[in-house]
């Protein structure tokens, strides 16, 4: 099975909030990341969180970390059509990616 | 700041041939990782180099090899190409073994025919 697990698809309406969830296995990493990939492009670092934090807010992005359950989530407020992409989470020591979550934003 | 640059952007090779892909790391980054991303899948970790030494390897056969140079640029070499090697190859660099995240290049699209 995957070292990182994410739901494959998420569809929301423009202006709604999106929540993308991730379960990881590497408990020793000091950093956990969220990346965005648009069609035909490389991965763009969106945000990261230190493992000693529970939450990090960065403009429209909120990252929540539950170390006990090895669960990471990314909330995008006021989701826009430009947010449509594939989102990946990863842990720094491991840097293994799951299949990603394809976010579709409908106007 | 130039970011991570990969070359070439596209490449077509014949089964059995060898290929070399190149990556220029972002300025100040001493760690580089290579990934293979097949269509519709997440990136699969191939290996990582830190200060010219291999620092970790994924589940790829020995015909996938790499180099990191003193200026921290890097190469990925693949021998005896197979059809399944067709994928987007991504290079990512970081200032210190992943601290503060990796910066990815746009990738090289390799097609093996």
Q: What is the pLDDT of residue B72?
A: 87
Residue A33 with chain B: CB contacts under 8 Å:
101-102
Is A42 strand, coil or helix?
coil
Q: What is the pLDDT of residue A4?
A: 82
Residue of A92 and B77 predicted with greater confidence: B77
The overall average pLDDT reported for chain B is 92
| A42 vs B: CB within 8 A | yes
Residue A69 has pLDDT above 70, yes or no: yes
Cis ω before B8 (30° cut-off from 0) = yes
Residue B9: pLDDT band (50, 70, 90) is very high
Q: Do B42 and A100 touch (CB under 8 A)?
A: yes
Q: Give the span between the Cα atoms of B73 and B79, in whole angstroms.
A: 20
pLDDT tens track for B34-82: 999 998 888 999 999 998 999 889 999 999 999 999 988 999 999 999 9
Q: Which residues pair with A87 in a beta bridge?
A: A36, A101
Q: What is the pLDDT of residue A98?
A: 80
Residue A99 has pLDDT above 60, yes or no: yes
pLDDT tens track for A33-57: 899 999 888 899 999 998 889 999 9
| B60 vs A: CB within 8 A | no
Spatial neighbors of A1 by CB under 8 A, at least 6 apart, are none
Helix (H) or strand (E) holding A47: strand A43-50
- The answer to whether the beta carbons of residues B28 and B41 sit under 8 Å apart is no
Spatial neighbors of B40 by CB under 8 A, at least 6 apart, are A99
Is B68 strand, coil or helix?
strand
pLDDT tens track for B86-101: 999 999 998 876 666 7
Q: Which residues pair with A19 in a beta bridge?
A: A75
| B48 vs A: CB within 8 A | yes
């Amino acid at each position: 099975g995957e070292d990182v697990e994410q739901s494959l698809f998420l569809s929301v309406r423009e202006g709604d909030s999106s929540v993308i969830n991730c379960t990881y296995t590497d408990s020793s990493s000091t950093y956990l990341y969220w990346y965005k990939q648009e069609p035909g492009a490389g991965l763009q670092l969106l945000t990261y969180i230190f493992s000693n934090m529970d939450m990090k807010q960065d403009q429209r992005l909120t990252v929540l970390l539950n170390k006990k359950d090895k669960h990471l989530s990314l909330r995008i407020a006021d989701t826009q059509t430009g947010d449509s992409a594939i989102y990946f989470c990863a842990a720094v020591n491991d840097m293994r990616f799951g299949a990603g979550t394809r976010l579709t934003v409908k106007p | 700041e130039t970011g991570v640059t990969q070359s070439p952007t596209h490449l077509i090779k014949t089964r059995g041939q060898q290929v070399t892909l190149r990556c220029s790391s972002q300025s100040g980054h001493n760690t580089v990782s290579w990934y293979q991303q097949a269509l519709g899948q997440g990136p699969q970790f191939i290996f990582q180099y830190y200060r010219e030494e291999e620092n970790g390897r994924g589940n790829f056969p020995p015909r996938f090899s790499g180099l990191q140079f003193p200026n921290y640029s890097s190469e990925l070499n693949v021998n005896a190409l197979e059809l399944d090697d067709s994928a987007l190859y991504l290079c990512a660099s970081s200032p210190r073994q992943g601290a503060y995240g990796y910066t990815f290049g746009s990738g090289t699209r390799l097609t093996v025919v």
